[in-house]
Amino acid sequence: MSRITEQFIRKIPKTDLHLHLDGSLRLPTLIEMAKAGNIELPSFEEAGLNELIFKPKYKNLAEYLAGFAYTVGVLQNRENLERAAFELAEDAHAEGVRYIEVRFAPQLHITHGTETGAVVRAVNTGLERAKKHLNASIAENDMPFEYGIILCAMRRFNRYMSPYYERLFARSGKTGQRYIFARASLGLVKEAVNLRDEGLPVVGFDLAGEESGYPAVHHKEAFQFAHQNFLRKTVHAGEAYGPESIFQAITECYANRIGHGTFLFCEAAIKLKSIKDKKRYIAQLAEYIANQRITIEVCPTSNLQTIPEFSTLGDHPIQQMVDNSLSVSVSTDNRLVSHTTVTNELLLCSQHLNLTATQFRDLVLAGFKRSFFPGPYSEKRAYVQRAINLYDGLAKVHLG
């Protein structure tokens, strides 16, 4: 893989399927928005925020997620949401990314004066405005910028995380938290389907947040609704829990893709006592995922930052995923929080993994092939073929 250069990676068309809006703000924009909204930050200097909040390495996932209190805090009005979406599209396009799926949890951005639809429309306005601007002139050896929107439900939350959650807790009285969490996800997926049917490019439904103690099956009704209404599904699973979490996401929540899947091959992470032969369970699960072409959205830098056992990409199971013929797409997760780009993620893979040229090509093109593209399948096929032709043409020039 020594021939794969940063120049080549920058030139090829790329995707970012696992991309959180609230984790991908420009740092100067975050500071500017905080000042304008009188929102207190630990520092109003970029260096200070990078030292205190957006670090190169974190103790655990909880510390990694702490910074979202500030990014979500500034995205509490439609103007800021639209701007953040526009700038994210610009940043992705600048490094050769031609398709993104922007995910966020609208319920975290609902204020006393806005509702889910307004939040999603604001993000879509920013992305659509960027798309028109970026596609105003397309070179013959390029392809148009496209995007989809994925709405995230939260595995758990508390009443103080947004006015929406506060109202939900108040209306639910003494009802248990599990019911409240499930009610929020069902309400969100119904909004997602309505907005899609309205014509917005809402292409998928996701479940994010703390895995341990908050299994995806608690949100089964929401995923059943998505499934019955032909909305694609992705679930954060195997990021901070074992293979059973991934199995549950696929079998109980009908996941078309899995976010992270980091502990797929970890026998020690299996907690269910009913699984006696752990090695066989993992082998069968991996084979099922491979056969069904359930794509794993791998976010290397993010995982290296939050999992103490990982010191280099060689410790990450992405090589094992590729070797087991899984469909794998590389994403950033959070461009700001992880200080990364798709170019950087792919460069890491080329430098630290033992990939053939064909495997690297598959890694790049999987994002196009397994995207939740918002248009008809015929349009997606043409779009994917354009990406393939561009990649192969550049490979001939740069790789020989």
Catalytic residue numbers read 239
Separation in Å, CA 334 to CA 66, 142, 228, 331: 13, 26, 30, 9
Q: Which two tokens stand for residue 148?
A: 């989809």
Beta-bridge partner residues of 208: 154
- Residue 182, Cβ neighbours under 10 Å: how many? 18
Separation in Å, CA 313 to CA 181, 203, 298, 306: 35, 31, 12, 13
Cα within 13 Å of Cα(269), Cβ side: 20
**CA–CA gap between residue 172 and residue 366 (Å, rounded):** 43
Cα 363 to the center of its chain, rounded Å: 16
122-152 CB burial, b ≥16 within 10 A, e <16: bbbebbbebbeebeeeeeeeebebbbbbbbb
Cα 348 to the center of its chain, rounded Å: 18
- Residue 393, Cβ neighbours under 10 Å: how many? 12
Q: Which two tokens stand for residue 150?
A: 């994925």
Q: Which two tokens stand for residue 70?
A: 């500030």
Amino acid (one-letter) located at 77 = N
Contact by Cβ (8 Å): 286, 332: no
334-346 CB burial, b ≥16 within 10 A, e <16: bbbbbbbbbbbbb
